[in-house]
Structures are given as C-alpha cells and as structure tokens.
Structure 1
Amino acid sequence: MRSKSTRFWLIFLAICVSVFLSALEFTSVSTALPTIAHDLDGTDFVWVASAYALASTALLPATGGMAQVFGRRPCMLLSLALFALGSALCGAAKTMNWLIAARTVQGAGGGSIIAITTIVLSDLVPLAERAVYNGFSGMTWGVAAGMGPIVGGALAKNGQWRWLFYLNLPLTAVAGALVILFLNVKTPQGSFREKMAQMDWIGNALIIGSSTAVVIALTWGGVQHPWGSAQILVPLIIGLLGLLLFLLYEAKVAKHPLVPISLLSNRTSFSGYVQTLISPILTFSLLYFLPVLFQASWGASPIRSGVLLLGFALAVGPALILCGASISRTKTYRVQLWIGWAAYLAGTGVLATLDERTDIARATGGQFLISIGTGLVYAAAYFPVLAPIPITANAQALAFFQFLRSFASVWGATVGTTVLQTQLKKRLPTEFVNMLPNGVSIAYSAIPIIPNLPEPLHTEVRVAFADSIRILWQVFVGIGAIGALASLFIKALPLHKQVDEKWGMEEKAVQERADEENAQVAALESESTLIE
C-alpha cells in the first residue's frame, strides 16, 4: 500500500467527520421519536424518519451527476449547508408538519454527504487499497450509529430533544472548515450554462417522483388505508412503473445518464446492488424497532433503550475493520459476504424469539449477530459493484449504490412500521385504543404513557407490542434470505489498482506542472552549456 500525503489524511479526516455527522443524526432520532411525537401531538410520526430517508434517497442519483458535472468540493459544501439548515429548522419545529418538512431538507443534505464522501475516497484511493479506508469510514459510521440512540434517548429523557438537532450545527461547521481548507481536488472546466446542460433533468424528475410515490404508498398501506384500496395501489403502481421507466430512459434515451445501464449489465454488479438494497433494511429495522420493544414492552426509558442497543454498536466497528483488512490482504470478498448473511439471518431469528419478558442477554446476542452481518456486508458489498466496471464510472456507480442503500432504509422504516401497526390493530386492547383520539395510528406516540396504565391493561398492552414486533422480525428473516440468495451469484474478480486521474488532488497537478517546468529549464540550461 502506497504512503499518503498529509493533505490526503486531512481530506480523509473531513470525510470521517462528515460521515459521523450524517450517521449520528440518522440514528439518534429512533429513541427520541416517541417523546418528540408526544410533545408535538403528532400522528404522522413515521414521516419523521421517512421524510429524511426519502429526501436523501430521491436526490442521491442527482448527487452523483452533480459531482461529475460541477465537481466534488462545491457539492460537498452545498450538502453540508443543506444539512445545517435542516438541523436548525428541526430544532425550532413547533408542529409535526414543520418537523417533517425540516427533516426533508436535512435528509437532502445528509444523503448527499454520504454519497460525495464515498465518491471522493474512490477518486483518491485505488479499489485494491480502498477496503481499509472504507473500514475506518464505516467504523466511524458504526460509532456514530451506536452513540446516536444513547444521545437521542438522553436528550429526550431530559426534555431537550431539540438539542438533538442543534448539536449538528457546530459539527457541520467543523466539517465545512475541513472541506474548505483541505478538499482541494480537481474541478471540471466550463461555464455554468454548459454544466447545467449536462445534467439529466428528466431522469432526476423520474427518480424523485417515483421514489416519493412508492414511499407514500408504503407509509399509508395498512394504516391509513387498506392495502387493496386505490389510495395505496395507485401511488404504489405508479411509483414502481416510474422506477422501471427511469431505468429504460437511462438505458435508451439519456445523453448524460444518472445510472448508465452498464452498471447493471453483469451479474456480479447486479448481485452487489441487490445485497446493498437488502442489508440496510435489516440494520435499520433493528435501530428503529428494537427500541420500541424496549420502551413499550420492557418499560425502558429512552436513554436505557439506547444503552440496550450497545450490543450492536460494540461489534459493528470491529467487524468493518476486520472485513476491510481481510479484503485488502486477500483481494477477495465473497466469503466475507457469505459469513455476513449467515450472521444476519441468525441474528434476526434470535430477535424473533423475544417477548414481553425482559431478556437482555438474548437481545444483546441478536444485536451482536446482526452487527457482525452489518459490518461484513456493509464493507464487502461495495466490491462486487465496482470490480466489473471501469474506474471512470465510479461516481455514477457509487451514487446509485448509495441510492439503493438509502432507499432500503425507507423500506425498512415504512414496511416495519406498516407491519407493526397492522399487528397492533389486531392485538391492542380496545380499552387502550379508545384512550387514543386517533386510534392505533398514534399508538407509537402513546408509548410514554404505557408505564402508567393500570393492571391488567398494562400487561395486555406490553404483550400486544411484543407479539406484534415478533411478527416484524419474522418478516425480516424472509427479506434477509433474499440477500443471502443473491450473494451466491457473484464472481471473484480482480480489484482495480488505478484511480481516475481526472479527479485527483490539485496539489498533484500543480506538482506535475512544476516538475515539467523544471525539466524544461534544466534542458535549456544544458543546451546553453553545450553551445558555450
């Protein structure tokens, strides 16, 4: 592995700070959400999570296109600015609708941060050497993901959940300063009008509209409207057809496609993308719905539920590092993926055995297995995506990679919530439902009042939540099996040993020009000496 300059390490620091910022925000809301929904008298609580994920998802392909057209540094600064604006608006929210709108702005910035940092790293480090750096970046994400629920729970318990968002502002300032000072990478030439003409506006409209329609259907299905109703089927069908139309448009019509069809034309990349789609569904289901079990059935406080998630946080970082190190040393990635999927299925199966009786050891064991699966698949699925394609396609490939990863978190949150609320409708005691002005649709926001319920209603509600969440884990076992099956179709391909020189650091280009000028001066001096 080649040695890196000081400027590279400072850029890598900027990447890690930015990743930490985005991951901490995404995961910290889970334990604070019942308190937030209660304080704001909110019924559409699922949109607090889904709005963030939807915005980050829908704009991710555009992020890759913008980075390719306008350059990495301007896009990174714009992403940080959007994230800071959204965070400030979230902290000032007075109503649930205000908070959802602010989370949309925040998600647009947070998703773009993850995509741009991934692209910048691919510009600076060859694929054959990238596993270790991905491991450290992933460990940063894992540490933030582990801290997030604890921070969110602590602030919610003390009635200070708004600081969950305000604390992002100084972190964003640090990340922005690092980017301004050190992320001096090459920027494409051309006028603003020329660059705007290279953007795939029709493709962006298709992917944003289609993603929104699908998420609306998934959010409403089984809760606000029956799955077979027109209110669900129409946006779901339109959204899925729109996604298909987007892929056809990109393959046949687009002059500057967001997703070149070559990215999906080989089975190894296709398998990597499928695994990238499935893995976050399982991971984020744990982060969002295990705290529900802890708080609703086990009587844990928000901060206690965050502490109980440490089984995930403690293992995911080392798993990422070990996976990266093994790929860097062996230059292979298939075995790591197979082990990761086995751990995913085992961990989800363990969680499916939990009930209303507190069993910290079993819950920790299930989390530990899922964190191993998360670390291995998160780190390794990246390589079958990129190994078969040319390095010049990195930006589009990675933007689509992050799009699927983020889209999966939308499915994880909305499908999980749909399963949970559908089961709660069947299981919650009528006496408890009648206490809620809007019925089961706000049962999630009613979690803080469960400890104060009289017996036997208290126990009945705890059992109803536990039994509903058990069905949820059973559904996710089936989803995980799809990812495991997809992993069997990847080929063992060599990893690229070069980077795309079009996007290197400016200092390298400057140094090359200086060396060329020095060589010319030396040649002239030599020629002058010979003449004399």
Structure 2
Amino acid sequence: MNTENPSETTPLLNPPPEYEPESEILYPNVDASDSNTAVSEDPSTLYVWVLMIGPFLSAFVASIDSSMIATLSSPITSSFGSLSHLPWLASAYFIANAAIQPLSGKLTDIYGRRSGLVLSNIVFSLGNYMCATAQSEWVLIAGRVVAGLGGGGVMAVATFLLSDLVPLRERGMWQGIGNMILGVGSGIGGVLGGWINDSLDWRAAFLLQIPITILATIWTWFTIRIPAVDDGEGKSKLKRIDYLGSISLFTTLVTLLLGMSAGGNTVSWTDPIVLISLPLSSVSFIIFIFAELKYATEPIIPLPLLYDISVAGGCLTNAFSSASRFAMIFYLPLFLEAQGYTATQIGLRLIPGSIGTAIASMVAGIIVKSTGRDFTNLV
C-alpha cells in the first residue's frame, strides 16, 4: 500500500516492480544489448537456421560418433586381438566429453562462440584421424580422448550459441530441435557404424566423419559473427577463467569415470587404480563446491541455479534418462552380437530409441513455447 503523502487520488496499491531480465540476474555486469548474450529483437527463423546449420551439422556428426563405437567395438577389438581395453573405447570418449563441456562455456564467453566451434571441430577431426590410422590400442584410445574433447566442445558451444540467438520464450522449441538432431544422430550412429564396417572396415567409419566436419567448420567460420562478451585483451580475459573450479571439476569427472569404468572390468574393485581414483574424485568434488561458492568470481557452473526446482529437476531427469539410454546403446549390442546378429542388424535395432527421443524433444519444445512453462514436461 502506498503510504507517502496519501490523498484521495492516491492509488491503494503500489505499481508492480519492473521486470528484471534473466540476463541481468545471471550476468549483472553484461550489457543486455550485447549480441553475445541474446539478440535484442526476435530473430527470424531463417536467420537462426542460417547461423545454426554449421553448429547443428557438427553436433550431428559428434552425436553419431558418440554411439557409433557401440557397433564398432567388437570389430576393433578383433582387429587388435584383445578384449582387455574394450570398455575404454567408449569411456575414453565420454570422460573427455563430459570434462570439457563446463569449461567450454566460459572460454567461449571470453573468446567468442565462432572460435570455440572452429577449434572444437579441428580437435574432433584430429581425434577421428588418430582413430582411423591407429596401429595400437593405446593410440586408438588416445584418439577417442581427443575426439571426445572436440565433440564435447561442439555440442556445448552449439547449445550456448542457440541461447545467444533466440529469446527465452523461443528457446524451448529450438532446444527441442537441437535435441532431436542429437537424438537422431546418436540413434543412427550404430547403424552407420555397422553398415560402414560391413561394407568397408571400421577405420572408414572414423575417416568419413572428417570431410563433413570440415564443411561444417567452413560454414561456421563465414556465417557466425557474434562477438565475445569480454572485449578486453590479454590478462583481462585470462583473469575471468575459473581455474580452480575448472581443474577440480575436470579431476572429479575423470577420476570418477576412471574408477567406475575400470572397476570390475579391466581391474578388480580392490585394485590401486580404483582405490585411489574414487576417493580422489570425492576430494576434488569438495574442492569444486568450495571454489564455485566461495572462491570464483565467475564460476563455470553457478551452483545457486540448482536451488531452482526446475533446474535441479531437469538436471536429475537428464542424468537418469541418459544413464538408461547409454546403458542400452552400449550393452545391447554386446548381447545381440552374442546372439549372432551382424553389426548392421544391431544398429537397426537401436533406431526405435532415437525415434522416441526425437519425437519427445520436439513435443517438449512445442509445449514450452506455447505454455511458457517447463514443469509440465518434467512431470
């Protein structure tokens, strides 16, 4: 109620507070008109598509690469005559993929989305070239690590770029399109990998990704012109990087996945690798929490966002759904191979899951756009 010098014409209720844009809440020091945070006016659909063709194509190829190994694992291990390092063919990629994504957001905030996408594509192509030409298991695994770094950067930066381009109301629909592309890519990756292996060999499956990635890189270089948030130079940019948070998070993910992947597979659960990596992961995680809450001026992951039930629910939902989905992608092929199916036949049996992912992503995006709420989709 208004209490300052009331009169017979004074309204009984105060006017509602001015709306504070999301960008001002999360990034109070960033000009809302900056083109790197979001465009000031609603961009046309054609404009968004022109800019996103390259990033979407890169992310599509990266998603194919992430699941293609499911049907290539057996041919690869047969080629090298060893099964001892089979779990690392997939784990190496996803360890690197998960570790690079948080850091890629902050780096591309500083140096620009275009530079991040181009560099990620180059790293991704280099990793696939290492896999295609590998003459030993360890070189192949190293190639999967390099490809994972590039693929993780591509997927993350493509998502960040999409958030820069479209307003919050439209973001759900466009993210649905992006998730559909990723879902289709991961679904057909097994089919393509199996078909290429049966038609040519497993090395060709890695090699054929490179020219497509090069085309996406060229398109990205000539179409994206979104500047970085920080127009400073040298040390002013480097000071914005959350080094402690980045290193501790990277260590947490690598050691956790290392211990979980090695334990019970390549080594026993009482092996020193497991006994060291899992406790180290816990310690690194505690350091990461401290760094993000108390130390970092610009944390790579703003943990207070998790206080929002929608954000926390979305993260948990994505974690559990991804765990079940990737368990199916990587363990079902081993079972089907034991039943006598070819690599192509195995890949075809993985398609229904990707179809469901694609449909659900689009439907969820449409619901968010039409209702402006995301809780319905989580339910």
TM range (shorter): 0.7 to 0.9
SS state of the match for residue 191, structure 1? coil
Following the alignment from structure 1 to structure 2, what is the Cα–Cα distance between the partners of residues 135 and 59? Answer: 23
Task: Check if 1:129 corresponds to 2:175.
Answer: no
Q: 1:20 to 1:185 in 2, by over 3 A?
A: same
Q: 1:41–1:96: 8 Å Cα contact kept in structure 2? A: no
| Structure 1 residue ranges without an equivalent (≥5) | 339-532
Task: Describe the superposition over 1:387-428 as per-residue Cα deviations: whole angstroms up to 9, x where unpaired.
Answer: xxxxxxxxxxxxxxxxxxxxxxxxxxxxxxxxxxxxxxxxxx
Other-structure match for 1:35: 75
Task: Check if 1:54 corresponds to 2:61.
Answer: no
TM-score of the two chains, using structure 1 as the length reference? 0.61
**For 1:39-438, what aligned pairs fall within 5 Å after superposition?**
39-42=79-82, 43-158=84-199, 160-187=201-228, 188-296=230-338, 298-338=339-379
Offset of residue 306 of structure 1: 0.8
Read off the aligned partner of 2:337 and give its amino acid letter: Q
Task: Describe the superposition over 1:5-28 as per-residue Cα deviations: whole angstroms up to 9, x where unpaired.
Answer: 644321121232122111111111
Offset of residue 75 of structure 1: 1.0
Task: Describe the superposition over 1:154-181 as per-residue Cα deviations: whole angstroms up to 9, x where unpaired.
Answer: 1222451111111111111111111111
Other-structure match for 2:9: none
Offset of residue 230 of structure 1: 4.5
SS state of the match for residue 59, structure 1? helix
Q: 2:306–2:312: 8 Å Cα contact kept in structure 1? A: yes
**For 1:2-17, what aligned pairs fall within 5 Å after superposition?**
2=42, 4=44, 6-17=46-57
Read off the aligned partner of 1:82 and give its amino acid letter: V
Offset of residue 183 of structure 1: 0.8
Q: 1:7–1:182: 8 Å Cα contact kept in structure 2? A: no
TM-score of the two chains, using structure 2 as the length reference? 0.84
Read off the aligned partner of 2:128 and give its amino acid letter: S
| Stretches of 4+ aligned residues off by more than 6 angstroms | none
SS state of the match for residue 227, structure 2? coil
RMSD: 1.8
Q: 1:79–1:109: 8 Å Cα contact kept in structure 2? A: yes
Read off the aligned partner of 1:139 and give its amino acid letter: M
Offset of residue 206 of structure 1: 1.2
Other-structure match for 2:29: none
| Structure 2 residue ranges without an equivalent (≥5) | 1-40
Following the alignment from structure 1 to structure 2, what is the Cα–Cα distance between the partners of residues 32 and 84? Answer: 18
Q: 2:97–2:153: 8 Å Cα contact kept in structure 1? A: yes
Other-structure match for 1:415: none
Other-structure match for 1:24: 64
SS state of the match for residue 202, structure 2? coil
Offset of residue 117 of structure 1: 0.5
Larger Rg over CA atoms: 1
